[in-house]
Amino acid sequence: MKKRMMSLISLGLIGAMVLPNAAFAEAAEEGKVLNIQVWNEEFKNRITDHYPGYEAVDETHGKIGDVDVVWTITPSDDNAYQNNLDSILPGNVDAAADDKVDIFLIEADYALKYVDKDADVAMTMAELGINEDDLAKQYTYTQDIVKDADGMIRASSWQACSAGLIYNREIAKEVLGSDDPADVQEAVKDWATYNETAAKMAEAGYKMAATVNDTYRVYSNNVSAPWVQDGKVVLDDNIKAWVDDSKAAVDAGETTTAELWSDDWAKGFFKDPGDVFCYFGPAWFFNFSMHGDEEGSIGNEGGWGLVTGPQGFYWGGTWICAAKGTDNPTLVKDIILTMTTDNDVMKEIAQNDSDCVNNKEVLEELAADDSGNLAILGGQNPYEMLAAGAELVDMSNTSPYDQGCNEEFQAAMKNYFDGNASYEEALAQFNTAIVEKYPELVTE
């Protein structure tokens, strides 16, 4: 962090008078407004808390030296965030200086759309002056997902989002006889064993998971081929396995069909009713979703544990893109390097925000002693497991259509799970919806 602070001072972006030099002249000639496009408060909070020299002005404005920082927050609901990017990024090079987008964020589900070489809306890291050595401590999958057709990296992430099964320790002790991670992992080591344990949970009056949608990403991350192959939508066997297992679980009363992020889904995070055995999620889940700072929540009392679960998987992640046409490339470069490669900043984010950072050296350090213990997990240290999982993430079966296919498939199958349609009828609903969303595709 000190190194990054010094680099900013030398560029004249923060601090007082410095002697003129080439770098200072370059930075001085850049824009005085840094426009950042985001879908929620997460990155703004990370910058506010961890980027040296950032000063908050109000909810949507800040300062870095003499540069005004403007945050434009467009929620992802109904695809609004992507629609906003699609309307402004193509013309960004020709936009007025103070209106130019300098940074925008992307998620894994639609990353390929914005790092596409032909779209050319995100600068390559090489164009910014960021090289392979700068990114050497990152996990490979976090770079693979944001490479264009020429293999050029066009974004960088501070997160490594390998994930696992997060379990209620009290329920584990009651039903399984132990809340030790090794014992719990044995009870959920594969889907057959997981389903056996679900029956035990139901018999004891607990739901195995809050909703069928909790397990979806575990299955979808372990498919054998992409959703779209040669322009055709193909249903993978592992997605069909999710359907079969989920229908059986709903019919047996072991889970529900509640929507992710809904109030019904979130009830299991609290002691009242405290009737959900497990959720599936990455480290950002701890801080972002589980209400660990709220009195009355299970996390507030350190009541959760973490294991790998039936299959390894990852969930999401946020990547920082430098917008093509930015007039602040020097500052954008420093933000990316500071927030995604600086060891001190990475460790701060992990310890203060319970996040799993995209830095092998830092995770190794956190896993080696009590500095990586998390209160929400009852003092358990998750970083060795999460680091191992990040090494195994395989992005070879991703496609630009993943978000749409996954969302439409889950929506259609809810009718089947709820008994309002046959499987064939639900599948037909999905096929209709996906062709309407992507007219260039055909279905089986």
Least Cα distance to 332 among 136, 122, 190, 112 occurs for 122
- The two three-digit tokens of residue 12, written as one number: 């004249």
Q: Which residue has 């403007």 as its token pair?
A: 70
Considering its fold, how many domains does the chain have in total? Answer: 2
Q: What pLDDT is stored for residue 12 in this prediction?
A: 47
| Residues 236 and 384 placed together within one structural domain of the fold | yes
Least Cα distance to 140 among 368, 387, 315, 370 occurs for 387
Structure pTM?
A: 0.86
The sheet that has 67-73: what strands, in order across it?
54-58, 61-64, 67-73, 33-38, 101-107, 318-322, 156-157
| Residues 271 and 351 placed together within one structural domain of the fold | no
Mean pLDDT of the chain: 93
Q: Is the pLDDT of residue 13 over 60?
A: no
- The two three-digit tokens of residue 101, written as one number: 């987008």
For residue 144, the enclosing domain spans 2-160+316-365
- The two three-digit tokens of residue 296, written as one number: 């009355």
Q: What pLDDT is stored for residue 89 in this prediction?
A: 98
| Residues 8 and 32 placed together within one structural domain of the fold | yes
| Residues 111 and 211 placed together within one structural domain of the fold | no
| Residues 132 and 166 placed together within one structural domain of the fold | no
Euclidean distance between CA atoms 285 and 161, whole angstroms: 10
Summarize pLDDT for 38-73 with one digit per residue, the tens: 999 999 999 999 999 999 999 999 999 999 999 999
In a domain, 427, yes or no: no
Sign of the CA dihedral running 428, 433, 439, 440: negative
Euclidean distance between CA atoms 99 and 417, whole angstroms: 47
In a domain, 176, yes or no: yes
Pairing of strands 232-233, 442-443: parallel
Coil, strand or helix at 351: helix
In a domain, 410, yes or no: no
Nearest 5°: the CA angle 318, 350, 162 is 55
In a domain, 436, yes or no: no
Q: Is the pLDDT of residue 1 over 80?
A: no
| Residues 84 and 173 placed together within one structural domain of the fold | no
In a domain, 444, yes or no: no
| Residues 341 and 303 placed together within one structural domain of the fold | no
Q: What pLDDT is stored for residue 29 in this prediction?
A: 81
In a domain, 384, yes or no: yes
- The two three-digit tokens of residue 176, written as one number: 């399984």
Q: What is the DSSP letter of 120?
A: -
In a domain, 200, yes or no: yes
Q: What is the length of the chain?
A: 444
- The two three-digit tokens of residue 431, written as one number: 């096929």
| Residues 208 and 333 placed together within one structural domain of the fold | no
Q: Is the pLDDT of residue 11 over 60?
A: no
Q: What pLDDT is stored for residue 419 in this prediction?
A: 97
- The two three-digit tokens of residue 134, written as one number: 């700068």
Euclidean distance between CA atoms 142 and 30, whole angstroms: 29
Q: How many CB atoms lie within 10 A of CB 99?
A: 12
| Residues 31 and 125 placed together within one structural domain of the fold | yes
| Residues 7 and 153 placed together within one structural domain of the fold | yes
| Residues 310 and 345 placed together within one structural domain of the fold | no
CB distance 354 to 374 below 8 Å: yes
Give the CATH number of the domain where residue 296 resides: 3.40.190.10
**pLDDT-based confidence at residue 26 (cuts at 50, 70, 90):** low
| Residues 34 and 182 placed together within one structural domain of the fold | no
In a domain, 293, yes or no: yes
Summarize pLDDT for 364-421 with one digit per residue, the tens: 999 999 999 999 999 999 999 999 999 999 888 988 899 999 999 999 999 999 999 9
- The two three-digit tokens of residue 433, written as one number: 């919806």
